[in-house]
Structure 1
């Protein structure tokens, strides 16, 4: 059985959501690792960072693979790696297994995310680019929300809190894999000729939209590093909330807002979304600093809401600019190039914040990291609005489109 065009579109969206569920699955478990194995924030952020550090070389080497052998084949390889990573977390008796599981998750997302995004463009109809951009944002937000809500509930109320959430993720991964197996084997936009490794590439023309979009996605991912790598520890150690389910719900609010804003703002041109996003980024990160200083759960909730809106605008607008600049037969390679840069920013943010948190405390990490991330967002605004480039960045938004 082969899925219809509509079914293929939503299956590709489910793959994107699964990728971010896998990324966020350990978020609420990090404090348990810290307590169980007596590790400091530098180690827990390293667990988070191994994911983008593995993902980046996979994107570099295999970023164009689905342009040649087909989206379905590469998506299935990625889902297989995600399943292995989730099982490793589910069995993990010590940190080594956790790092192995995280590495396989990076491998899986590195293989699956770009072809899933490209597939949504191809199965999205005449307005595939804009539809794929907003749907990718909403799907990944759903994945993050499920990671923190399901994870928080299982950690707080279920047995084997270090492991059960990953067995649930394994089951979901296998279910999505079953649907992905029914995707069409080939699409009309695949390149011809044999595959060979090629570096992810910036488009020869329309480079300003590509750079602006990449910076926008990078700002979103760097901010995600704060919430995913340190959010649960900030809630416990600075906000003084000891209910993991409540903490998971607060973090999930950010993901819900990401999805709602992505749908509500789908009519915005990508350049406009990228230009507005840093305002919300600054507000969210500022409230996160206030939450730590005042030990305030309401401020933490406000930070989650504002940061979610900023992430959504920066990611969906940035992705729209990137995919609008991509030639048809190099779409996955160009998208991979943007993801490479964004995940490098995310890894650097996670490792840097972990080092500062270990040496000077979590509050100091927020004080240092927040302004740096806002600056990345401001750089995206500047490049998107360079004189002589605005028309290019605007007009490509409705062309092809983590």
Structure 2
């Protein structure tokens, strides 16, 4: 297999000062990883911020949701732009926004700065996710599809555990993690600048800025079949990313920062590992495995919380991650298979739109439920029950919906 399955245009062929072809896909994948790592890095810090500024669980989820809302808006407005102006300009602009967001987080003196940093993060990530994903497919469609599925879980897990470890064991917890990520973004800016443009440029960029869902008719059946699985997996990830630290502290007595980061890492890391292990499986089988594993995992998490079993909680978090990774890869593969190169960024924007609505909205509702009831554990159990129901629905609807595509 060659590294580039889609020939680059003559103007984009590598010259002596450009990166060797073997680095193109790893570099692009690392950008998705670092963006998702940046998105999960504040999770273990929320208890620290709450101790400093005394805000509620609803504020935690509102800060988290602000990132998701802006990301969704950016996906709608900028999701197709790289199909017209090229992948590189969009990715470079998004990396610069991430640098500014890291500066805001590092100097934050109150909740308003957290909102500002999260909003910039959402804008940069939403603008870039579809462009990066499409660029990886431009470079190598088969390996790029796998990278698109593995990078979100890897980045989410990496950011959470890195932040948790730095917060727990090193000084300046609200500064150090952002400095590390900022350095990584600077290095990636240099790398992307040396990357040949993997996409094609074409006129009509202003029309691409009109918010719309670019869903090819050929991919609609597959996306319908995958949507319940996508919603279930990303909703659970959103809960772990927002209220997870408080839950593991309340139920198991873990340090909220380290325990919350490790829990998110366990789930997201097992999702990423599953994508790699099952990379050769067919999409239909992946969707079935994902639905079964996520249903069993979410049910086991509920039982473990009720029984105060740490070992059970971690085991079933891993099983949930397996379901998340298999289901997301299956959904990604089934929908992208029918897309033409010029449709990839728009289609990826639709997939990520579904994923991030599922990630943000239920987590926000859960945060307000905690404030209204004062019962974090009961809210967590209700949330897990909803994920279980969605997983069972995905298992029931998967085959007919998928075959219609």
Partner of 2:169: 157
Bigger mean CA deviation after superposition, 95-104 or 157-166: 157-166
Alignment check: 8 A CA contact 1:191 1:330 kept: no
The alignment status of 1:101 with 2:144, answered yes or no, reads no
The alignment status of 1:185 with 2:191, answered yes or no, reads no
Distance in 2, Cα, partners of 1:194 & 1:81: 21
Match of 2:59 among 43, 46, 67: 43
Q: Map of 1:195-344 to 2, 5 A cutoff?
A: 195-196=206-207, 197-198=209-210, 199-242=212-255, 244-344=257-357
Alignment check: 8 A CA contact 1:214 1:339 kept: no
Give the 3 Å change call, closer, same or farther, for CA 377–290 of structure 1 in structure 2: closer
Give the 3 Å change call, closer, same or farther, for CA 217–183 of structure 1 in structure 2: farther
The alignment status of 1:354 with 2:370, answered yes or no, reads no
Q: Structure 1: where are the runs of 5+ without partners?
A: 394-402
Partner of 1:25: 41
Q: How far is the alpha carbon of 1:109 from its aligned partner?
A: 0.7
Q: Structure 2: where are the runs of 5+ without partners?
A: 1-16
Please provide the CA RMSD for this pair: 2.0
Secondary structure at 1:202 match in 2: coil
Alignment check: 8 A CA contact 1:68 1:195 kept: no
Distance in 2, Cα, partners of 1:273 & 1:139: 17
Q: How far is the alpha carbon of 1:119 from its aligned partner?
A: 1.0
Secondary structure at 1:163 match in 2: helix
Alignment check: 8 A CA contact 2:45 2:174 kept: yes
Distance in 2, Cα, partners of 1:2 & 1:220: 38
Q: How far is the alpha carbon of 1:351 from its aligned partner?
A: 0.7
Alignment check: 8 A CA contact 1:262 1:312 kept: yes
Q: Deviations over 1:106-143 (max 9, x none)?
A: 1111011111111111111xxx24x2232223322322
Give the 3 Å change call, closer, same or farther, for CA 183–380 of structure 1 in structure 2: farther
Distance in 2, Cα, partners of 1:280 & 1:141: 16
Alignment check: 8 A CA contact 1:71 1:185 kept: yes
Alignment check: 8 A CA contact 2:218 2:339 kept: no
Q: Aligned pair count?
A: 386
Partner of 1:398: none
- TM-score of the aligned structures, taking structure 1 as reference length: 0.90
Give the 3 Å change call, closer, same or farther, for CA 237–326 of structure 1 in structure 2: same
Distance in 2, Cα, partners of 1:215 & 1:22: 27
The alignment status of 1:364 with 2:378, answered yes or no, reads yes
Bigger mean CA deviation after superposition, 284-293 or 51-60: 284-293
